[in-house]
Every structure is written in C-alpha cells, then in structure tokens.
Structure 1
Amino acid sequence: MNYQLLYQILSTIDPSRTISQVANQLYLSQPYISQVISKSEKKYQVKIVNRSSLPIELTEAGKQLLEDLERLINDQAILQQNLSPYQLDSGNNIRIGITPIWISNLVSPVLKELQQEFPKTNFEIRQIFTSNESKKMLETRSIDIFWGSMLYIDHFISRPLYRSQACIIIPKNHPLYKSGVQELPFSQKIVTALNHSKMISLTKNSVFQSIIDHYFEDEKISLNKTMEVNSYIGAASLAIQGLGISIVLTDVLPYLDKTQEFNIVKIPKSALNLDVGISIHKDSSEKVKKVAERIYSTICRKLR
C-alpha cells in the first residue's frame, strides 16, 4: 500500500466537502480516490471516512490512522536520512521538490538541460503543496532541492529567482464583480470593499496564506473563511464557481475555466513578499550543489 498517497488523501478530507473535491486538489480521479479509501477500510477493518455526510469527514478511526501514518512517514524519512551516507550510487538520484502549478511552463526546459549535463543522473520530481512541507522534506533529506518559496533558515541555502504576484479572484455573484472585463485595476477602494467577504483560503500550514492573512490584517480587513483547500488551483476554481473570493498566485490563471465569468485584481508585487528561489541543505553533496546551480542559472536565463 502507498502510505504516502493514503496520508495525502486523508489529510485532504478535512478541508473538503466531497470526494470529488479531494480528487481535484490531488489531481487524481474521483473513482481512484474512492478505491484507495475502500481498500484501506477493507485492509484495516474499520470505517475511516464518513461519506454519507456533507461535508465528508474522517471517523475517529480515520483520525487515528492519519496520525499514525504521519508518524510512520516521518520515521521512514529519518531512516532514509540515516542510511543515505551508506547508499550505493546515491549521487545518481536527485529529488527535486516543486510546487505543482509551475510544472508545465519552466520545469520541462530545465529538466532537458539537466539531462544533457548529467546524463547518468536520475531526476525525480515531487509535488509539494506548502512551504512547511518543503522544510520538513529538506530537513529529512526526502528531497535534495526545492524550487518554490524562499526558505529563510540558517542551515538552508536559498537563492532568489523572482517574485511571484498574487491576485484576487472575484466571482460573478460578488458585489465588486463587473461584467465585460476580466481584470480590474488594483485600488484601496477594492481592498476595503472586500471586508466581510466569504473566502476560499489555502490551508493553515500554507506560508502563502499566512502572508495574505497578515496583509489583510494590516489593512483592517476581515474575511470570512468558509472553506480551506491545499491547492491554489482548487481554491481559485471554487471561487469562480461562486463560493467566495480567493487570493492565489497569478501562475494559476491559465488553468482556470475560461467559460466562467469572474474578475481578477492583481495585487502589486511590492505589497507582498512572494519571493521564489532554489533551496538546498547546507550539508548537501557537491553533486546536489552543482545540479541546484544549474537549475538556478537555467531559470534565470529563461526568464530574461
């Protein structure tokens, strides 16, 4: 059984209303998610998800299983870290953690150059949804390199690449919505008018969401978080369906349903520190450092 997959599914249950929403957030099919849950319930002889309620929820057994899976995965990561110095040909495998929304535009050309320069190296790409998750995975050496939010930690080396931009998704049923145009100019008036709006937010362990929360707190704006998801695309998709506003990265916009009517308001880059970079552990091998440097230089060249 894939314990990592089961853990991701169960940890996504809480902020979701349906199995379909869980599937959308994990980029998997709904039947497959249901199959994994059913097989797990058969294996452990307990009911782990209450699918008859709306929203769906973990049973007490499901909560216990989630807790135990997290402990198991952490123990496996520590075991892997402890044995890594003794592994044969460990330098021929490089694990790169990356936020899913960047996979389609820059990763492909970067990987092509890596394969050309390091033809005997196997590159494994792992999707990471939050910066907190990336910190843990770098700590335990579950990944070698992280491409995402800058990690300001003493024993990590992080090099800035560019600053991402956030935008506000305004659905058709919101008072601020204007037909006939997609992008509205940013203004303090719009920010103020968002007060008490329903909001689809990212989960509490998202550094991005923490930055957004602090921004609105400083602006004395109170938002009503009615739902939490662990996916930028999932949050934006729910927003354009009228479930509330959402604040996501502009990288998400190409993935949204163009048939839906909604507005976007781009928040000035100077207002939010959303720096993206390449991070590695200070004690990384020379091979990892060379690969990280190559990724960094390639991205910088592609962005010129």
Structure 2
Amino acid sequence: MISKLDLYKVFCKVGKSESFSKAAKELYMTQPAVSQAIMQLERELDIRLFNRTPKGVSLTNEGKLLFEYANSALNLIHVGEEKILESKNLTTGELTIGVGDTISKYFLLPYLEAFHNKYPNIKFKIVNGTTLELCAILKSGTVDIAICNFPIDDPTLELIPCIEVQDIFVCGEKYKHFLSWPIKLDELVKLPLILLEQKSISRKYVDEYLLDRGIKIAPEFELGSHDLLLEFAKINLGIACVTKEFSQDYLNKGLLYEVKMVEEIPSRNIGVCFLKSVSLSPASTKFVEIIENK
C-alpha cells in the first residue's frame, strides 16, 4: 500500500503539471496508478482535490490550500536530505570539541590544521575546561568529542589513547644543584613544590602515585595552568611538576632543568573520549581518524 508521504508526492506532482499523464511520466508510474493515488488521498481527506477537465486537471480551492502546505513540506524534506548528504560528505557542518588550554596548545593545534585543510567547510567550536568538566559536558551533549588527560574511570565513555606523556619535575637555576644526582621522592617533597590545582586529572594522578608510596604532599603553590607552572619554576619559586612533552621549549632553551629522580612517575596518556551510547557524527569520525593515523 502506498505511503501517505508518497501520496503527497504524487499529489504535488499532479498539481504542478496539471496532468495525470505528465505526472505519471515524471514519477515513472502508470497513469492508472497516479489516478488511484489521488483517489486514495481524496478518500482519506474526504475532499475533492482536483477538477477534471478535457485538457487535464486543475486544483480545487481546497486542493490549492493543501498544495501550498504539502509542496512546502516536501521542499523542506528535500532540503533536509541535502543537508544530511552535505554533512555526510563533510561539505558543511560543525564540530564541537572540548579541550583544556594546555592540550589545545601543545597537542591539538596540528590536528585542527590538518582537518581544516582537508575539510575547510566544517566549522570548529572549541569549549575549554578541565578533564572532569569536559566529561560532564560531553554527557550533556554540549560537545561532540573531548580531548582529555587520562586515566578516566567512566564506563559510559569510549577512550582512545593518542599520545603517551611523562610527568616530570623541573626547576630553575636556584635548585639546579639537585641535578648532580638522582633524588628520591621523599626528599623531593621536602622542597617547595609547584603543582596544578587538585581538581585536575594530572594532579590527581601524581597525588595517587605518591600516596601509594606513603608520601603526602603539601605544595607551596597550586596553579590553574601548565604554562604558569613553567613560569613559576623559571623564577625559582620552587620545583614544578609538569608534562615533559609540553615543556620541551623551556628545557631546550635552558630556562628550566629536569630534576632527575630515583623513581620516575609512570607515564600516562592523553586521548579522545566520547559517549559510547551516541554514534559519532561524520565530522567527529573523520577528526578522530586524523588523530589516530597522524
């Protein structure tokens, strides 16, 4: 049985062509099938839609009213289908990414550039936050994907590790003499420490590692950004715990020095996360592929 949507498609085609035979030809249907469709719609609506004339058909007043709405609706459906196709082919659309400032600056930018060069019509929207904040807004649907510090313990999220990073301690000239020999963790924590705020995942990771070894820390400074850790250590306010991969510029220029440890903090990962229960958009899928394959 022909669907209601198909009935309206036939109705609009007949209304435009004012001929059953022309409509049948354009729809690749037989003329009796077109006539039957119109009669079925007229029965369901209990109204006459066309006046039959020797030259063809013309819309009744009621038919004209219905045609105005039905034709607009079908056009909107067509536009929607075109938009879906454009989105699928990545010729239009928007990609919303949740990411922290540090990861955005030191990790994400090259991938944004690569994706934009390949799909220039996709718009980016970047939402900043800590890993915990990003996980929350990811669940609310505010962002499509998030680039976060791992580990994350959340069974509702799909986690894709992308880069391995190492937490290290760095210092300026004042504490440079500690570089002469590897220092133990229990000796290190007696010095003025500069750490990220406790709400950050990377800080929690370091805290838990130390607590597992019976070491509790009371930092001199707790800061909100990785760049501030580097700057505070550079002016000799203490020894900062930083991500080695994001501190290479300071280390290479001799602005900071890595404090050699007897026992290194185990490496961790930065990666992409998204909801398991929601399929990724075409743009999100391609962006994740670029990160994984580059």
Q: TM class by shorter-chain length?
A: 0.5 to 0.7
Considering only aligned residues, what root-mean-square deviation do their CA atoms show, in Å?
3.2
Equivalent in the alignment of 2:144: 144
Match of 1:199 in 2: 193
Match of 2:116 in 1: 115
Map 1:1-304 to 2 at 5 A.
92-104=93-105, 106-128=107-129, 130-150=130-150, 151-174=152-175, 176-178=177-179, 187=182, 189-256=183-250, 262-265=256-259, 271-272=265-266, 274-287=268-281, 290-302=282-294
Distance 2:112 2:261 in 1: 31
After superposition, give the CA deviation of every residue in 1:42-98 in whole Å (9 maximum; x if it has no partner). xxxxxxxxxxxxxxxxxxxxxxxxxxxxxxxxxxxxxxxxxxxxxxx7972221122
Give 3-state SS (helix, strand or coil) of 1:275's partner: strand
* Secondary structure of the structure 1 residue equivalent to 2:235: helix
Judge conservation of contact 1:170–1:263 (CA < 8 Å) in 2: yes
Whole-angstrom distance in 2 between the partners of 1:268 and 1:191: 8
Structure 2, unpaired ranges of 5+ = 1-82, 88-92
Are the aligned partners of 1:95 and 1:144 in contact in 2 as well (CA < 8 Å)? Answer: yes
Q: Which residue of 1 aligns with 2:46?
A: none
Q: Is the 1:101–1:251 contact (alpha carbons within 8 Å) kept by the matching residues of 2?
A: no
Return the offset for 1:202: 0.8
Measured after TM superposition, the shift of residue 152 of structure 1 is: 3.1
Aligned CA distance change for structure 1 residues 231 and 267 (closer, same or farther; 3 Å): farther
Following superposition, the deviation at residue 104 of structure 1 comes to 4.6
Equivalent position of 1:74 in the other structure = none
Deviation at 1:264, TM superposition (A): 0.6
Distance (whole Å) between structure 2 residues aligned to residue 267 and residue 119 of structure 1: 46
CA distance 1:268–1:190, change in 2 (3 Å)? closer
- CA separation of 1:99/1:251 partners in 2, compared to 1, >3 Å: closer, same or farther? farther
Shift of 1:284: 3.2
8 Å Cα contact 1:165-1:268 kept in structure 2: no
Q: Distance in 1 between matches of 2:285 and 2:292?
A: 11
Deviations 1:210-246 (A, max 9, x none): 1111222233444331221111111121122111111
Output the CA distance in 2 between the equivalents of 1:269 and 1:300: 31
Q: Which runs of 5+ in 1 are unaligned?
A: 1-88, 179-183
TM-score, L = length of structure 1: 0.57
Task: Report the alpha carbon displacement of residue 259 of structure 1 after superposing the two structures with TM.
Answer: 7.0
Q: Alignment partner of 2:247: what SS?
A: helix
Percent identity over the alignment is 18
Pairs aligned (count):
204
Distance 1:259 1:163 in 2: 23
**Compared CA separation, residues 201 and 161, structure 1 to 2 (3 A):** same
Letter in 2 for 1:213: D
